[in-house]
Structure 1
Amino acid sequence: MQLIPPPLSLYVHLPWCVRKCPYCDFNSHQARGPLPFEAYVDALLADLDHDLPLAWGRTVHSVFFGGGTPSLFPAAAIDRFLQGASARLRFAPGLEITLETNPGTAEHGRFEDYLAAGVNRISFGIQSFDDGCLQRLGRIHDAARAEGAVKLAQDAGYDNLNLDLMYALPGQSLAMAAHDVERALALAPAHISHYQLTLEPNTMFALRPPEGIPDEDLAWDMQEHCQALLADAGYAQYEVSAYARPGRQCAHNLNYWRYGDYLGIGAGAHGKLSLGAEQAILRRWKVRHPTAWLAAAGTENAIGGDERVAVAQRPFEFMLNALRLVDGFALADFEVRCGLRAAAIDAPLAQAVERGWLTLDGGRVLPTALGRRFGNDVIALFLADGPAMGSGRSAPGM
């Protein structure tokens, strides 16, 4: 089966933040003194130049500035990068360009400048509208500032906004979780991300777990109740933690979940590229520390690692993403994006169907409500060394 390169996105990592949150496991670094905005943009373009041979002739369908806190960067720096990137890559007309934004960094007038630079989607890290919860999460904003930042963006002309909310927070009740969703709905964003707080390794919360984290039963009640609130307000769930008004799904993240390709540039950025000529899938990541990456950008020394995804690992990687989607995936897409016949997953697919976790409908694989609840167990069936993969067919491996 021929591996056919899927749509391509561009991920840009801007690694600095005002203060590291105790739950955050992203590659983010607390800003100490003035940030080297101009030098970093120069380095981003050099990094992009170095990776361009991996994506010659391909069209970019979305751009995402993640961090860290990308909104620490002035609009002029974002503008200069986008001009340089669009001169090097073919940007699809009207492509989605997202900037992650901390409400605590919003300043009046800046959103107009981001919009003029080409950023047409803002993703706000709200997390909660409860000041006590925000303090316990180590956030630098309060609820009033969060609402004010969203309204500033709307006044500047943005109608494509995402609000990030977390639930199962320390000291949070079911009523408090519901109130957060209600406050978000009152702002009428196009998109809401609603996900559970998890204690990730190598974070302050993992080292010293906070008191009052809801147990699993309460967290599940929060999830179900908030899902109902979102559905009643017209926000359809299309991924495990993503809800959108009709036609307002996040194009960039959809490309990830559909096992699409993406160039990753910047300190610690990860990329995934399908190489048609080699019939290979390459994962590349960059050196994590901003100082080290800045010194090496544009050279081989900026690459933290390169890995060819083993053929046996592709089904697991594909399922890790695609089974997050409510509407699942087409078997035909599995074939062209993994370069494998659908028969490679016959055995684990049959097990998942038998257990009521997945359904097959006209060549499409869909997770059931039960399957979404036990997502990790479903995905584990597609591990190369799992019990379902003993037939010797091509299957994923760790």
Structure 2
Amino acid sequence: MFKLKSSQSLYFLISYILNSMNNWVFKFIAPLVLYSETKSLQMMTISYGLLFTPNIIAPPVANLLENRLAKKASLLILNLIGLFLCLFSYTYFEINFNNLVFFMVVFLLSSILILYQTIIHSTLKEILPHKEDMEEMSRKIAFVDSLFPAIGPIIGATILSYLGYSNVFIIIGVIYVVSMFILTKINIGLRVKTTGEHFILKTIKGFKLIKDNLFVNYLLRRFFFSNIALHGFQSILTYFLIERFNLTDIQLGLFFAISTVGLIIGIRIGRIIYKNNVNKWRLISITGIICALCLICIPIANNIYIASIAWSVVMLLSAINLIVFYTERQTHYHQDEVVSVISASYMIIYSAIPFGSAVSYILSRYMQSNDAMITLGTYLLIVSIYFLYEALRSTKIKDEIDVS
């Protein structure tokens, strides 16, 4: 029995690792492919939006699949579609490169990768029903989620430098074959889920719950408007680094890998914050202001080391914000309300990504990359100052109510 449980844990973890690796390697490579083929900043901003927009549609699509197909069947079908898509891409792009076809591939492959991750998360309790085993696996998943944003760019840069981008699709395709083999070994039930509240109803309920909670409402409005700037900035950043500092693919991979150190430190700091009586309203506002100043600093400073430190600080502050948000989201609602709030909050946060890409696309048509980045940083600074004012006003009103 112990051996069976151990093997199931191992198969699940390997499957999760393979998908995460594909996900982060592809997200790093796609904009670089467009740069090498078009040298166009506008094309890179579009690809960034297409890479992350599937995060918006993944929850409702996963819910739809869950009500029509067994989870194991869904995962196998997604892998099979991904494999055929990779074979098509390798064959097509070896002969010719077309922007529209590449955008289609980026969107479809990104959708498959995020859908797989969404569905396999939901199988964890079924594979490991015991609380201790599930908690241990959750810690391993958290480690994988923090590892691949760091090593994904390095792996992607290495593949791109030595094999060329068309061969990336062959490598991802081979990983899909391995993943399908591993999935056949995992004991996931073949029963189709037929009960449960519909995703749309859950999301509508979540919006109402968020609206009624003063602090969570504040957090999500703050994150939505700031994420427009952050994702818009990030869609330009790769182009800027190549043009300004003439970075190679490997050097670019190292830049983003180093910034992940800030993410790890931020997670640790975020945990410490909750052991002390820190004013969360002011914390969230101040992190936004510091983040905006770092964004403005990157295009102004003509130094790759300063840019690397500034971007690492942005990652650190983003991690602190996420720790605050995830904790507050869990503590402000009853257990039966959390799922609805999560559904609605994901829709709000991820919908900022296409907005950010659209804004950066428009800016890049009329400005140089560094001017567009300064504009986005300035916008974030204004937004953060406004939310600091709102935080001070809200906490003052709250204190007056508590006194009365």
Q: TM-score, normalised by structure 2?
A: 0.25
Structure number with higher strand proportion: 1
Larger helix fraction of residues: 2
